[in-house]
Each structure stands twice: as structure tokens, then as C-alpha cells.
């Protein structure tokens, strides 16, 4: 993370708001389910009458249709907060399908439609620099969201990705037990064009180096679960199912592809696998014992901060009362930022973290197939 923040893994929960691929039909079905998400393309998401007093248009640009959280959490949370803060405002939203050219066109379209502020989660932080500059030239401030874009951004809402990588690595070593010294792991990084990928990897390596052997390491184009599935299948074929002591997965979507590949190849017992985002499917895997940990970042806190900064910028207000942190993207060394706290979620603390926070109910997590696992995790009687 290119920034400065006083928050880290130790932030209290109450303060928080970051191969042999078998041709089995069941594996294919499981993999297909990993890509389910919201509709792609630009759509109007009006939160009010823009002609009302104080109303203006805010554009929300999300990077892909492969990561479940964008459609299920971030977009509706931002939309609701904008409506609360500015009933007369309109929110337009678009998904870029992990394509830079598409997102560039969407930015141009939103500026042309009169957006007064953009909330941008860039597909590629460097490739979108000219688009951020184009928005600045049109007097449209950009709130960089979740990933820090290059160029003259006005604000940033996210988490410390290096710290997430450190947490993932620490939890992986804990789960590996005696094999945390000299064991072999597979490292499944995110998309190489995403600045968070670089920071996650840097944080993880600061913990892993000198302790375990990284037998195979991959970058996963577009953060697409199918690509993680293929990479993991190749690792299993090359290393053998008995030589994988752990998998450092950058997020929950990739973890889903990884677990599907391991199960398809008949790997038993499953090695510990990491993740982040606390996707519902990942929390269920954690309870079931198929994924060891996910790092929970409060989407509500991240979305609320982005919405508050966007509305303030649209009204010409300063961000001093909202953004207490500062980050640098190489263009600007003093970008107002809100960086949220992080929580490692394992089967031992699901009840005290994602359930207690209200992210998911026990009923949502504990499907009939997970009845025994939920009892063991203390989620049901």
C-alpha cells in the first residue's frame, strides 16, 4: 500500500467499520457457479430526482463482473448511502468486464452525461491515468475506490493491501502447523495490472520468505476464478497432490477456483487456503473446512466513506472531517483517504465477526448441507 495509516490487523472489531483437472461434471458445475454476479454494462441507478435542490449526478465505475462483491455489496451500499446523504442526487453505475478500453469509454460516457463526481475502481491503475486526468480537466473529481488509480485523484476509500497480505500469510503459516517451516505452498496472486495485487504479494512475501518454499506462483488475469482453477490444476499436475502444504490465495473468488481444482483432483485432506472479502460462499467454505481463512473488510464502511467523499466533493466541500489518512499514487503525495480495519475470519470466530457485525445471519450461512459443520463452529445448537 502506498500510504500511511494508523490502522492494522490489531484494530478492534468494534472500531471497524481491505494439472490434473478431472473432467467431472460436478467440478464443472461448481466452477460455473463461481462466476455468478451482477449484470455487466452501464445502467442507470437513480437514487432521486437530480433536478431537486442540491441534486447532481455521481458515476460509479466498477472493474468487473467476476467478483461477487461489486454487485451484491458495494454497488447497493454506495447507492443507499448516496440516497441518504443526497436525496436529490442520481447514481449511474457501470461494470467494465475487466477491460480497460470499456472502462475508459464508460468514464467518457459518464462525463458526457453530466456526472459531477466519479467513484472509480480502476481495472488497471496505470492505464486509467489519462482518463483520471480527462475527468480532472472536465472539473469532475475522482474518488478512487478499493484500488488506487494513478493520476490526479481527489480521494481514496480502501484498505491496506500490504497488511491484508501479511494477515493472509500469518494465518496460512498458523494453519500449516509443523509444515510452516520448510513446507511447500502455491501462491495464487490476483491480476497483475491491479495495484492491490502488488501490495498483497509484497505483504505476504514479507512473512513467508525464509519460512516456506513457494513451489509455484501465478498471476490470475482479471481475478477470474476459472483462471485460478486452471493454474491450480497445473500446479497439482506438476507438483503432485501430496506436495502442496498450503495455498496463498489473494481473494475469495480465486480461493473458490482453487478449492474446486483440489477437489476435482482428489486431493485429501485439502491444504489450508486463504482469501479475502468474506464472500458468503467463502464463509461457508470456512465453516465447512474447505478454506481456512478469509480477511473481512467492512464493505459498508468502505462504501460509506466513498459515498460521503463523493457527495462532499460534488458540493464543493473539503474532506478534512471525513478522510483522516493520506496516501500517495506517484502523482499526488497527499490524497485524502479512509483506510478501514481488517479482521481474519476462521471457523473459530465466524459467530463473533461476520455474524455479530450483521454481514450475514446464521440462516444465510448454515444451509442444510452445513448443519454438522455449523454445530461444530458454534453457530447452531
Segment 125-183, tens digit of pLDDT: 999 999 999 999 999 999 999 999 999 999 999 999 999 999 999 999 999 999 999 99
Pairing between β-strand 184-189 and β-strand 213-219 as defined by DSSP bridges: parallel
- Nearest-angstrom CA–CA distance, 285 and 293: 9
Cβ–Cβ < 8 Å for 70, 95: yes
In the three-class reduction of DSSP (H, G, I as helix; E, B as strand; rest coil), residue 91 is classed as strand
Continuous segment of H or E residues that includes residue 184? strand 184-189
- Nearest-angstrom CA–CA distance, 182 and 208: 10
Q: Cis peptide leading into 269, omega within 30 of 0?
A: yes
Cβ–Cβ < 8 Å for 13, 343: yes
Nearest Cα residue to 295 out of 252, 237, 347: 252
What is the average pLDDT across 262-283?
A: 97
DSSP assignment of 52-72 equals STT--EEEEEE--SS-HHIII
Segment 311-359, tens digit of pLDDT: 999 999 999 999 999 999 988 889 999 998 899 999 999 999 999 999 9
- Nearest-angstrom CA–CA distance, 305 and 297: 13
Give the pLDDT of residue 53: 52
Where do we find the cell 464543493? 316
pLDDT-based confidence at residue 42 (cuts at 50, 70, 90)? very low
Give the pLDDT of residue 275: 98
More confident residue, 23 or 309: 309
Give the pLDDT of residue 25: 33
The mean predicted confidence, pLDDT, of the chain is: 87
pLDDT reading at 381 higher than 80: no
pLDDT reading at 227 higher than 70: yes
Domain ranges of the chain: 57-159+299-339, 161-296, 348-380
Superfamily of domain covering 57-159+299-339: Response regulator (3.40.50.2300)
List helix spans (H) across 240-298: 252-264, 280-288
Contacts of residue 203, defined as CB under 8 A and 6 or more positions apart, other chains included, come to 161, 162, 163, 164, 165, 166, 168, 169
- Nearest-angstrom CA–CA distance, 195 and 192: 8
Cβ–Cβ < 8 Å for 314, 250: no
What is 161-296's CATH topology?
Answer: Rossmann fold (3.40.50)
State how far Cα 341 lies from the chain centre. 14
- Enter the DSSP assignment of 220: -
Are domains 57-159+299-339 and 161-296 of this chain identical in fold? yes
3-state helix, strand, coil in the chain (%, to 5): 40, 20, 40
Segment 284-299, tens digit of pLDDT: 999 999 999 999 998 8
Amino acid at each position: 500500500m502506498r500510504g500511511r495509516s494508523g490502522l492494522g490487523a490489531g484494530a478492534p472489531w468494534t472500531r471497524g467499520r481491505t494439472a490434473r483437472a478431472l473432467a467431472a461434471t460436478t467440478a464443472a458445475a461448481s466452477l460455473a457457479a463461481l462466476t455468478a454476479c451482477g449484470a455487466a454494462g452501464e445502467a442507470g441507478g437513480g437514487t432521486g430526482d437530480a433536478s431537486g435542490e442540491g441534486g447532481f449526478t455521481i458515476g460509479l465505475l466498477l472493474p468487473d463482473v467476476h467478483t461477487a462483491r461489486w454487485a451484491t455489496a458495494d454497488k447497493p451500499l454506495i447507492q443507499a448511502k448516496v440516497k441518504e446523504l443526497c436525496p436529490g442526487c442520481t447514481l449511474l453505475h457501470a461494470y467494465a468486464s475487466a477491460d480497460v478500453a470499456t472502462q475508459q469509454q464508460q468514464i467518457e460516457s459518464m462525463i458526457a452525461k453530466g456526472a459531477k463526481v466519479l467513484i472509480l475502481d480502476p481495472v488497471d491503475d496505470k492505464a486509467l491515468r489519462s482518463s483520471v486526468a480527462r475527468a480532472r480537466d472536465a472539473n469532475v473529481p475522482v474518488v478512487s475506490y478499493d484500488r488506487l488509480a494513478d493520476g490526479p485523484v481527489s480521494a481514496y476509500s480502501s484498505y491496506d493491501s500490504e497488511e491484508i497480505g501479511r494477515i493472509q500469510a500469518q494465518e496460512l503459516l498458523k494453519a500449516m502447523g509443523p509444515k510452516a517451516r520448510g513446507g511447500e505452498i502455491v501462491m495464487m496472486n490476483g491480476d497483475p495490472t491491479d495495484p492491490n495485487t502488488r501490495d498483497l504479494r509484497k505483504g505476504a512475501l514479507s512473512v513467508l520468505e525464509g519460512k516456506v518454499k513457494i513451489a509455484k506462483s501465478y498471476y490470475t488475469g482479471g481475478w477470474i476464478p476459472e483462471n485460478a482453477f486452471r493454474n491450480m490444476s497445473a500446479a497439482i499436475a506438476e507438483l503432485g497432490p501430496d506436495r502442496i502444504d498450503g495455498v496463498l490465495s489473494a481473494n475469495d473468488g480465486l480461493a473458490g477456483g482453487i478449492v474446486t481444482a483440489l477437489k476435482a483432483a482428489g486431493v485429501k485432506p485439502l491444504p489450508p487456503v486463504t482469501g479475502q472479502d468474506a464472500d458468503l460462499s467463502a464463509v461457508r467454505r470456512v465453516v465447512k473446512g474447505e478454506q481456512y481463512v478469509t480477511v473481512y473488510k467492512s464493505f459498508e464502511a468502505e462504501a460509506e466513506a466513498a459515498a460521503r467523499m463523493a457527495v462532499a466533493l460534488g458540493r464543493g466541500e473539503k474532506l478534512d472531517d471525513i478522510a483522516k489518512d493520506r496516501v500517495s499514487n506517484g502523482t499526488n503525495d497527499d490524497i485524502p483517504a479512509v483506510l478501514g480495519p481488517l479482521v481474519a475470519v476462521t471457523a473459530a470466530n465466524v459467530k463473533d465477526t461476520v455474524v455479530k457485525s450483521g454481514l450475514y445471519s446464521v440462516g444465510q450461512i448454515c444451509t442444510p448441507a452445513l448443519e454438522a459443520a455449523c454445530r461444530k463452529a458454534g453457530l447452531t445448537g
